[in-house]
Copies of this chain bind each other. A is one copy, B any other.
Amino acid sequence: MLGRYNERPVDEVADQSILAIDLGGTQIRAAHVSPDLTVSCRRALETHDEEGVEAVIDRICAAARAVREDAQRAGLADPVGIGISSPGPLDPWRGVILATPNLAGWVNIPLAARVEEAVGLPAYLERDTNAAVMGEWRYGAAKGADDVIYVTISTGVGGGLVLDGRPLIGKDGTAGEIGHMTVDIDGPLCGDGQPGHAEAIGSGRAIAREGRALLKRGEAPGLAALAADAEVDAELVARAADAGDAACQRVLDSAWVAIGAMCASLVNALNPEVIVLGGSIGCNRPELPSAIRAEIDRRAFPAPAQRVRLEMTQFAGDVSLIGLLPIVNERMTDPSYAKEHA
């Protein structure tokens, strides 16, 4: 039964505590997650992927052990297993990161097996956005819906899908890579060298790239004033736009059009009930929902456009950690994820 989660009805969930790890391009975060969704014993450290795969794996394992020890000292239930969320593409059944534009040098890395061996608990890997859609669908902004798209807008753009009441993982575990949908045929190149993806226009990385280009051409005086002592990132471009830099505002406008066009494509293709917005940019730009809504109304059929609700994540930065709770609990009894795979 590859390609699906164990179909245990939501109301019969009797989850046990897990150890949750979120591996990001910037940070590694680890925590104890209990069945009442309390996230505790948090650890966070910088990823520093430039130090190589082994150094990062060592840091992940050390953080996991530290969380487990903290939980024991605090008298919390010992976790039954470990969930790891990470950028994709990855193979969730074997627990292998296949390759990811967001972590330099990570190609065919059996991360789940390595963490399992180091910590002594069964470990399961899932794409961060698939964990996120599980969190919002089971417990958050999309609870009760059958057709859900989680969209993260951060350094990159990604997503996770629940369709017709079930998460869609795909035979390779790569379903939901919506940030790599083409929205502009001859548009700028993505981190993976491919043209015109939504991520290449709408991501934090793309906004920063455009900001740096404006600065270089002397076309963004507001940004130049702010950037004197700081490296240009998406946040700085947004701050310049908010302070009245018209060129920076146009960069943001283009980014939101790309994200909105991507969402509109998904509204026409999949007829979802809810789109949940998350990610560091998705959570922090108040104009984003109305900008996306405008593009959906401009680019999608009336019936599915009227159907879809836009919601903000209920769990913000913890969404993937919380989403790992049902994933680990379900996989531990799901033969597709039996540990001979690892």
Residue numbers of A with Cβ under 8 A of B are 3-4, 89, 98-99, 146-147, 159, 161, 163-164, 166, 168-178, 180-185, 187, 192, 194-197, 257-258, 261-262, 264-266, 268-273, 298-304, 307
A4 to B164, CA, bound (A): 7
A169 to B134, CA, bound (A): 21
- Option from B172, B181, B258, B307 in Cβ contact (under 8 Å) with A265: B181
* Contact status B301-A171, CB under 8 Å: no
Residue of B nearest to A159 (CB): B269
Residues of B contacting A269 in the complex (Cβ-Cβ under 8 angstroms):
159, 161, 175-178, 181, 266, 269
* Contact status B99-A302, CB under 8 Å: yes
Residues of B contacting A161 in the complex (Cβ-Cβ under 8 angstroms):
269-270
* Contact status B180-A183, CB under 8 Å: no
Q: Measured between C-beta atoms, what is the minimum distance from A261 to chain B in Å? A: 4
* Contact status A164-B174, CB under 8 Å: no
* Contact status A261-B299, CB under 8 Å: no
Q: Measured between C-beta atoms, what is the minimum distance from A104 to chain B in Å? A: 17
Q: Measured between C-beta atoms, what is the minimum distance from A65 to chain B in Å? A: 32
- Option from B184, B187, B197, B307 in Cβ contact (under 8 Å) with A172: B307
Interface centre among A166, A184, A269 (most CB of B within 10 A): A269
A170 to B269, CA, bound (A): 9
What are 13 A-B pairs at a CB distance below 8 A?
A99-B302, A164-B168, A169-B271, A172-B304, A172-B307, A174-B268, A175-B269, A177-B269, A177-B271, A181-B181, A182-B261, A196-B261, A196-B299
Residue of B nearest to A187 (CB): B185
A258 to B182, CA, bound (A): 10
* Contact status B304-A170, CB under 8 Å: yes
* Contact status B185-A182, CB under 8 Å: no
Q: Measured between C-beta atoms, what is the minimum distance from A262 to chain B in Å? A: 8
Residues of B contacting A3 in the complex (Cβ-Cβ under 8 angstroms):
146-147, 164
Beyond A170-B304, A184-B185, list 5 extra A-B contacts (CB 8 Å).
Answer: A161-B269, A170-B271, A175-B304, A177-B271, A180-B268
Residues of B contacting A266 in the complex (Cβ-Cβ under 8 angstroms):
269
7 closest Cβ contacts across the A-B interface?
A: A170-B271, A181-B265, A175-B271, A182-B261, A180-B268, A172-B303, A177-B268
* Contact status A174-B265, CB under 8 Å: no
Residues of B contacting A192 in the complex (Cβ-Cβ under 8 angstroms):
301
A18 to B266, CA, bound (A): 34
Residue of B nearest to A201 (CB): B185
Residues of B contacting A301 in the complex (Cβ-Cβ under 8 angstroms):
89, 174, 177, 180, 192
* Contact status A265-B265, CB under 8 Å: yes
A270 to B302, CA, bound (A): 23
Residues of B contacting A163 in the complex (Cβ-Cβ under 8 angstroms):
163-164, 168
* Contact status A171-B147, CB under 8 Å: yes
Q: Measured between C-beta atoms, what is the minimum distance from A276 to chain B in Å? A: 16
